[in-house]
Amino acid sequence: MTEEQMLAGSIKNNAVAQEALYNRFSPKMLGVCYRFAKNREDAEDMLQEGFIKIFTQLHQYRNEGALEGWIRRIIVHTCINILKKNKKFSESVDIIYANNIHVKEEMIPSIMQAKQVVESIRLLPLGYRTVLNLYAIEGYSHKEIARLLDIEESTSRSQYTRAKAILEELLIKRKILLKPSQKMNYGAVVDSPR
């Protein structure tokens, strides 16, 4: 079934088309939910609620941009609304530490074990994890994140900075990422003449 057929059928409440649409996009969207949720059950709940919204709002999709992107936005907004509704997004921020953290993006290897990285991200406190997902993975600006989460833009920035620092520490502890000193020593060994 083509995307157009799934879309047209789903708008007409055709169960076969709705199932096809769900089966096509739910695996990717579960991954999105999983990054925001504490566990798989919460992620599945977010996914289900998200798809209910998708099916009720599908008539609003205007074929401007990819359908997957439109679905993803609804899923992300659903995850945020669930977190806010359940008052799970009330963790404080360590603003004191934010100014002293310097994380260099190039310190993270280009190819990493994705599952271990996702698991490490899920260990972050909820506020940090949410901002990191929205900014680094979903591509929202700090201004958009502040509006979505009802926080200050500076809070979004500081949570993102702190989240990167904590994530770096977790990745080093899990031996997914080398310490800066180890990276330099490794480079020195590789670059030394024989």
Q: Is residue 178 part of a domain?
A: yes
pLDDT at residue 186 is higher than 80: no
Spatial CA neighbour of 127 closest among 102, 105, 155: 155
pLDDT at 57: 94
Residues 112, 169, single domain; the answer is yes
Q: Is residue 53 part of a domain?
A: yes
- Quick one: average pLDDT of 45-61? 95
Backbone angles phi, psi at 31, to 5 degrees: -60, -40
Residues 71 and 103 in one domain: no
Q: Which of 36-50, 67-81, 100-114, 147-161 has the lowest mean pLDDT?
A: 100-114
Looking at the structure, do residues 59 and 138 belong to the same domain, yes or no?
A: no
**15 pLDDT band (50/70/90 cuts)?**
very high
What's the CATH number where 15 sits? Answer: 1.10.1740.10
Q: What percent of the chain has pLDDT over 70?
A: 76
Give the model's pLDDT for residue 123.
85
Give Cα separations from 142 to 133, 139, 161 (angstroms): 12, 9, 12
Does 75 share its domain with 125?
Answer: no
Rounded distance, CA 91 to CA 81, Å?
Answer: 16
pLDDT tens for 148-176 read 888 999 999 999 999 999 988 888 887 77
Compute the average pLDDT of residues 54-65: 91
Phi, psi of 8, deg, nearest 5 = -60, -45
Domain count, the chain: 2
Residue 90 located in a structural domain? no
Among residues 30, 59, 85, which one ends one of the domains? 85
Q: Does 43 lie in the same domain as 105?
A: no
Does residue 102 sit in the same domain as residue 169?
yes
pLDDT digits (tens, 9 = 90+) for 110-144: 444 566 777 788 888 888 999 998 998 888 999 99
More confident residue, 105 or 132: 132
Helices (H), 12-152: 15-36, 40-57, 67-85, 95-98, 114-122, 126-132, 142-149
Average pLDDT (35-64) is 92
Of 85, 120, 148, which one is at a domain's C-terminal end?
A: 85
**Burial letters 44-64, b for 16+ CB under 10 A, else e:** eebbebbbeebeeebeebeee
The whole-chain average pLDDT of the chain stands at 80
Domain that holds residue 135: 95-191
The CATH number for 179's domain is 1.10.10.10
Same domain? 120 vs 182: yes
User: What is the average pLDDT across 145-149?
Assistant: 91
170 and 125 share one domain: yes
Indicate whether 166 belongs to any domain.
yes
pLDDT tops 90 at residue 70: yes
Same domain flag for 99 and 79: no
CA distance 151 to 148: 8
Of 85, 108, 136, which residue constitutes the final position of a domain? 85
